[in-house]
Structure 1
Amino acid sequence: MKSFDHLVTAQMQTMDKLLYLQGELERCEEIEEELRLLQQETELESLQTEIAMMKEELREIHRVFENQTEEVIRTYQEVKVSV
């Protein structure tokens, strides 16, 4: 049961990262739109690069979260069977 608890804790930490990054991404996309409206091309390009990196990091965190979910389910089933 300890390994299950550890897996759930790790998954919750990943979820926190995921939610934080999603919030930051939304904030950056709002700034991106404002810069586009103001036609601030240099700052816009820099922000677009940052957004692309954040989206890639978000994809990676989603992948980790999915793997953790599978591991939590597998561990829970093992614990349930052995009890």
Structure 2
Amino acid sequence: MEEFDRLINEQLKTMEKLLFLQSEIERCQEIEQQLRTLQEQTELESINEEIVRMKKELSMIQDTFEQQTDEVIRYYQEGQAALL
């Protein structure tokens, strides 16, 4: 019976190690997923920054286009006035 108890105790210790290791693996997998999410968020932030930069650039180009349009209109009006 003594040998049986020893074997059972060894098995229980092994089971404890197994359960501990399983829980550690699960914990590490959760951390891994969080890190992946953070990486995705970092990439998302990078894309959002690029979008903001491009929108500012687009706005500047639109302003330039409007100024050029105003110049063309003024030039055309001055040319028409000179003909009269």
Q: TM-score, normalised to structure 2's length?
A: 0.50
- Alignment RMSD (CA, Å): 1.2
**In the alignment, what sits opposite 1:41?**
41
C-alpha distance in structure 1 between counterparts of 2:57 and 2:79, whole Å: 32
**In the alignment, what sits opposite 2:54?**
54
C-alpha distance in structure 2 between counterparts of 1:63 and 1:52, whole Å: 17
> Identity of aligned pairs, percent?
51
Aligned pairs, number: 45
Greater gyration radius: 2
1:1-83 superposed matches below 5 A:
40-83=40-83
Note the residue ranges of structure 2 that are not aligned, 5 or more in a row: 1-36
Q: Which runs of 4+ in 1 moved over 3 A?
A: none
